[in-house]
Amino acid sequence: MQHYLPIEKYGLIGNLHTVALVSKYGSLDYLPFPRYDAPTIFASLLDHKKGGHWSIVPTSKDYRTRQQYIPDTAILHTRFFTQEGMAELTDFMPLKGEEENGTVVRMLKIIKGHMRFKMEFQPRFNYARASHTIRKKDAHTYQLQSDGPDKTVLTFTTDQPCRISKGNLHGTWTLHKNDTVCFVLEGGTSAPTKPQETLLQYYERTLGRTYRFWHKWVAGTTYHGYWREMVMRSAITLKLLTSCTYGSTVAAATFSLPEDIGGPRNWDYRFTWIRDAAFTVYAFIRLGFMEEARRFCLWVIERCREMPKASDLQLMYAVDGSTDLHETILDHLEGYKKTGPVRIGNKAAQQFQLDIYGELIDTIYLYNKYGGPITYAFWKDLTCLIDFVADNWQRPDHGIWEVRSEQKEFTYSRIMAWVALDRGIRIAQHRSFPAPLEKWLKVRDTIYEEVYEKHWSEEKQAFVQYKGANTLDAAVLLMPLVRMISPVDPKWLSTLKAIEDELMAGSMVYRYNLKDGATDGITGDEGTFSMCSFWYAENLSKAGQHDKARLHFETMLVYANHLGLYSEQIGQQGEQLGNFPQAFTHLALISAAYQLNRQINGDNKGSFHDFFV
């Protein structure tokens, strides 16, 4: 187990096409290439022997490290301290244009004294399933080619001597104050530098361009309130998970990081969930980043054009919108801390989840109101989706938690069906679009009455997980946030109290009791869901419990890693669990921060979602 670092010891870099994880100790241990959902080049995060890594570390066993981002950027600094000196490793991925290949840039500089470093560059193509060849092109350039079906070609360039051994590159150097070593890994066969340009000059040029991009992007926010640093770190993380080619957003950077060490709950999250992407767009719009919302809407329009009928809407897609997400087990990899199986793909893509229609229609509603008017042609596609919800809202489904072994009449799904009808009605009325409003109004009101009366448990004095259930579900925390119920309605306050009593551990919230709720046929436990914990804080604020809300929110901030990043869950010892970083957690943080900031500034009109409605 000592070969695997805690998940929270990593930082994220990316180029809006893919991402990499760099440890606090200078090792790049995860990189799918050239896209988020592509096979990995490095994956020692999932198998420390076979997965592949790229480490740059002092040879001394006695060293300390510090890691931080350059503020308001995705440029990562890792500093090394020994008795003899101090060094700084800078990692980033330049934002590439269409004519450029994906690139990872690393630069090591000695700040004071001297230090001896070693580098191990051990690529393992195609999820460590393919061998590769390596050849030296010139004194400082090496070309690598996968023997797998993808035939991936990479060029590795450095300004220090290296040696080839068993398909890997190694280097050891003693460096003194102001000495630098540059490393560039790039897709394709061409060298990264321009004619007559040194590698150090290339580093300075691309660093400056990357720095300016992030600062310009962050400057576009309309958020200038409390907790700005954490809010903008979350925004940058969401941006890193958003494809600049397609406009789609992946749910998380990684695959198969376990929700329970030793358990089987290990999933591939490198896809675009309609639900997760919709909530991400909420966050972007709230922060003033309208271009991201526009690009996602264009992506949605393409999906609608491709669907023969409304029932063909999938709950998740590949980044490019393709639909084949066949789930495969990589049984040659042992998994993080020997927690298998390691899965790629996700067979939940074929589930029926009613709620995605509500989240999608809500996203379009928000964009139509704050980003730009949608076309009538697109409205006709949306009308089909809304009609589908009106005709199918009573169907059991697999729910937000993607229960694999059974379908239920989940309360959350009914809530989001209500949202689909409500937002569709609002768009039609605002834009005077033709629509069967009488039908939609009737169904919307019927759903409301169904949830309010039949998804309520007199015994629990709470809204429960599904009709007839006797267990709670933190997903209903969205009920006031989408304005389906008043945050001070007696039934809601009773539900909030029940969630506190049954699903909370301190400031953290479990999604539901796995033993009492809908069964998914999967064994094992899990941690608290950070997304639900932030939803809870936002609910407290909306209900007027402002001091308590701020305390819970700021307590949750403590569980971020040293860089302000979150995975999906928090374990019993405060460790991060699940895929990392997780979009859902960061967008929920933004939502809660916005609501609390409004409250502190004396704007008591409502919350994050009130802005949208």
Residue 10 bridge partners (DSSP): 23
Residues 480, 549: Cα–Cα separation, whole Å: 15
Rounded to the nearest 10 degrees, what angle do helices 437-454 and 376-392 cross at?
40
* pLDDT for position 196: 82
H or E segment to which residue 386 belongs: helix 376-392
Q: Three-state DSSP class for 223?
A: coil
* pLDDT for position 192: 79
* pLDDT for position 515: 66
pLDDT in tens, 504-560: 998 999 998 866 655 555 555 788 999 999 999 999 999 999 999 999 999 999 999
pLDDT in tens, 462-478: 999 999 999 999 999 99
Beta-carbon contacts of residue 547 (< 8 Å; ≥ 6 apart): none
Instruction: Judge whether 314 and 249 are in contact, CB under 8 Å.
Output: no
Instruction: Judge whether 554 and 531 are in contact, CB under 8 Å.
Output: no
By C-alpha distance, which of 579, 578, 595 is closest to 536? Answer: 595
Exposed/middle/buried for residue 465 (C-beta within 10 Å: 0-12, 13-18, 19+): buried
Which one-letter DSSP state was computed for residue 561? -
pTM listed for this prediction = 0.95
Exposed/middle/buried for residue 188 (C-beta within 10 Å: 0-12, 13-18, 19+): middle
279 phi and psi angles, rounded to 5 deg: -65, -35
499 phi and psi angles, rounded to 5 deg: -65, -40
* pLDDT for position 268: 97
User: In the structure, how many helices (H) and strands (E) does the chain have?
Assistant: 14, 26
Residues 27, 247: Cα–Cα separation, whole Å: 30
Residues 378, 383: Cα–Cα separation, whole Å: 9
Residues 451, 466: Cα–Cα separation, whole Å: 9
Which one-letter DSSP state was computed for residue 252? B
Q: Count CB-CB contacts under 10 A for residue 265.
A: 19
Q: What is the mean pLDDT of each run of 10 residues along the chain (613 residues)?
A: 89 97 98 96 98 97 95 98 96 81 95 97 97 93 92 94 95 97 91 83 96 97 96 98 96 96 93 94 93 92 90 93 95 96 93 94 90 92 96 95 86 98 97 97 98 96 95 96 96 97 94 69 75 97 95 97 97 94 97 94 54 38
27-32/76-81 β-pairing: unpaired
* pLDDT for position 606: 42
469 phi and psi angles, rounded to 5 deg: -80, 165
* pLDDT for position 318: 96
In 334-379 the beta strands, taken as DSSP E runs, fall at: 343-344
* pLDDT for position 76: 98
Residue 262's Cα: distance from chain center in Å?
23
By C-alpha distance, which of 564, 546, 496 is closest to 229? Answer: 564
